[in-house]
Amino acid sequence: MSTRQPPAAPAPEDMLQQPATGEATGPVTSEATEPATGEATGPASADVTGPATGKATGRASGEVSERETREVVESSRETEWSKPSFMQELFLGRLRMDLIYPYPEPDPEDARKAEAFLERVEDFLATVDAERIEREGRVPDEVIEGLRRIGAFGIKIPEEYGGLGLSQRAYGRAISLIASKNAALAVLLSAHQSIGVPQPLKMFGTPEQKKKYLPGIAAGEISAFALTEPDVGSDPARMEATADPTEDGDAYLLNGEKLWCTNGPIADVMVVMARTPAQKPGGRRGISAFIVESSWEGVSMDHRLEFMGLRGIENGVISFKDVRVPKENLLWGEGKGLKLALITLNTGRLTIPATCAAAGKWCLQVVRRWASERVQWGAPIGKHDAVAQQIADIAARAFAMEAMADLSASLADDGGYDIRLEAAVAKMWNSESAWRVADQALQIRGGRGYETAASLESRGEAPIPVEQVLRDLRINLIFEGSSEIMRLFIAREAVDPHLQHAGAMVDPDASLGDKAKDAVGLGAHMAKWMAGNAVGYARWPKHGDFGPLAGHVRWAERAASRLARHIGYAMARFGPKLERRQAVLGRVVDIGAEIFAVASTCSYALHLNADPAFELADAFAKGARRRVEALFDALFDNDDAFNYKLAQKVLEGRYEFLEEGIVDAPTRADVDPAEVETFARADLAGVPVDADA
């Protein structure tokens, strides 16, 4: 299925639902993630808003303390592990290959329906002018209508509500195919289905809500997800949007502003997060989820936003002023909104790994052709070692990305696994690998990689948009959990079994006596656990059923045991301060991610049962093993403390002399707000608008 335009790795949900900062400020004892933003979330505390007037009035006490944010975030995370998790077991030192091998097989009927749908998708994509979308920065109405005709807005919606009822794996394949044509199309559909109204509605909606909204959404009513606000970064307790009950008790009055809402400018219906009154006197105002229709009075699409990549997406600023939301449109219950979003994300995040894998495959195809045809210094450039090494890395990583994406989606479809860690690791690892692969592809293409597709075509060359791939992929390291936030989230879940024994040891307000008491229990737990990981035997002939890859699986088992010991040592060495050693925690997570990637590629290769697959898995595992050794070496032998102190000096202005001789970056907007509003409103409508209208 070869197409000309590049694959984006767009994500579901509120597309740019966080500032492009990769904020990673929360402690590891918090769930450092957030539904559509990659930021910490949880039910927010009472001092983020004013009185229950139905309007966001600002912070009562100015700022929110770290303790309050910690409590907010912890209260929203899933605390139970009722189903097995490969990654949780891995961080405990146990390589449970039995959880991922034999490889999960797709349902035959789902596979049959998926193939038929993919054929319709490919036929439709042949009619789409992807370059027009990139050039004009919009998806034409006729393209959206075409997506409606083939059922693309209801891929995962059950058939009883008019959808296709396909699996997560089939959905990922379809979005990946669409992304390989144009990024904006994939963003449109993934923001609509992965965390827009359909997914949380399927999981948490009432029968009446499903009957009311799902048929229209499956038919093509566009949905969105509104969470992020201008002042909400990685601190969820700063949320200001409010939803307060009306006097008659029949509805809520919604007030506030949401930022970076993908599909917002064209959405028919959306999930909106807002603070609802505390459920008991003196308690925190929770965050709740509501189904809101864009046509309701008081809903305003204020600005259509533009970005470095994904130029055809519809993303905007939305404001709500005294919007009357029927009480029947509350999802799940008051105070459960962020937990709803976090649970939804367990599968919602899986779109990024899938589309990143597609990007890797697209780059591999481009590089293979170019490096075979382009001759320099008497030989195709692929024959030169410097280029060949990059090609090998692209091929190995492309195979690993596909293995991780496909395996994670298959585990989600099975329903018998807890995939919160697998989804997070696949999102983090695939997004970073896809960026590396695209960067290498651009380097190999040279000037033609940097040149736009339109420019290439204008002078008679194939319009291969490698630079667009790079621009479109960059956001994946930021949204749906920036790489920094993902590492904190994964680390938090990795140490969760130990924190359950920590008690007062991790409570900043506990007395010294209570801390000492619980320290004994934690010490006994850690001693027993460390003893169980002291050896980690995994030698020949263990895992012999993996054939030529058995050695890599045995290594993965030994590495998992070694990682567990290092986690124990880190907890003993740093104690409660471990939550501040984010670079150490990041290396722990990176080691676990590489081990998961090796295990996934080995299982996937055996599933494919072909020599080329074995060769690619072998190549990837060899590289991963070297990276893991380097990470182990740097785990405790590093310059982290020195670099942290240096960074603080930078912030204090000690090195401002380095900023001399440049034109200063802007620090404020230099345009009249009325002019900005006029532009935004005109842009949304497609016609000039009088500023006073």
* Residues 358 and 469 grouped into a single domain: yes
Contact in structure between 352 and 431 (CB atoms under 8 Å): yes
- Contact criterion met (CB below 8 Å) for 273 and 44: no
Across 22-26, 597-601, 679-683, the highest mean pLDDT is recorded for 597-601
| Any domain includes 444 | yes
Of 475, 492, 509, the residue at which a domain comes to its end is 492
Distance CA(274)–CA(330), nearest Å, equals 11
The answer to whether 265 and 139 are in contact (CB under 8 A) is no
Average pLDDT over residues 642-647: 98
Q: How far is CA 97 from CA 278, 283, 603, in A?
A: 45, 45, 8
Q: Which two tokens stand for residue 46?
A: 């009472």
For 100-145, the pLDDT digits (tens) are 999 999 999 999 999 999 999 999 999 999 999 999 999 999 999 9
Residue 105 in any domain: the answer is no
Residue 445 C-alpha from the chain's centroid? 29
Q: Are residues 487 and 537 in the same domain?
A: no
Q: Angle CA(295)–CA(301)–CA(307) in degrees, nearest 5?
A: 140
**In this structure, is residue 378 part of a structural domain?**
yes
567 falls within a domain: yes
Task: Reply yes or no on whether the pLDDT at 5 is more than 70.
Answer: no
* Full residue range of the structural domain in which residue 626 is found: 533-646
- Residue 668's identity, in one-letter code, is R
The one catalytic residue in 240, 480, 557, 579 is 480
484 and 388 inside one domain: yes
Q: Which residues face 252 on adjacent strands?
A: 245, 325
Q: Would the pLDDT of 15 be above 70?
A: no
Mapped onto helix, strand or coil, the DSSP state of residue 369 is helix
**pLDDT band at residue 86 using 50, 70 and 90 as cut-offs:** very high
486 and 352 in one domain?
A: yes
* Residue 598 and residue 620 in contact, taking contact as beta carbons nearer than 8 Å: yes
Q: Are 290 and 274 in contact (CB under 8 A)?
A: yes
Instruction: Answer whether residue 530 shows pLDDT above 90.
Output: no
Structural domain contains residue 294: no
Same structural domain, 485 and 351: yes
pLDDT tens for each residue of 131-180: 999 999 999 999 999 999 999 999 999 999 999 999 999 999 999 999 99
Mean pLDDT of 529-544: 72
Q: In this structure, what token pair is assigned to residue 87?
A: 């990654």
Rounded-to-integer distance, Cα 117 and Cα 370, Å: 32
Residue 374 sits in the same domain as residue 487? yes
What CATH number has the domain bearing residue 359?
1.20.140.10
Of the three residues 492, 512, 545, the one that is the final residue of a domain is 492
Residue 608 resides in a domain: yes
Query: 275: which residues sit within 8 A by CB, 6+ positions away?
Result: 44, 48, 49, 239, 240, 241, 242, 243, 285, 286, 287, 288
675: annotated active-site residue: no
- Domain identity same for 473 and 577: no
- Residues 323-368 have pLDDT tens digits of 999 999 999 999 999 899 889 988 999 999 999 999 999 999 999 9
Q: Taking 90 as the threshold, does the pLDDT of residue 379 lie above it? A: yes
Judgement on whether residues 368 and 458 belong to the same structural domain of the protein: yes
Q: Is residue 114 part of a domain?
A: no
Residue 543 sits in a domain whose CATH number is: 1.20.140
Contact of 340 with 289, CB cutoff 8 Å: yes
Calculate the CA dihedral of residues 79, 82, 88, 92 and round it to 10 degrees. Answer: 100
The verdict on 389 and 458 lying in the same domain is: yes
Residues above pLDDT 90, as percent of the chain: 72
Give the total number of structural domains in the chain. Answer: 2
* Through-space distance between the first and last CA atoms of the chain, rounded to whole angstroms: 49
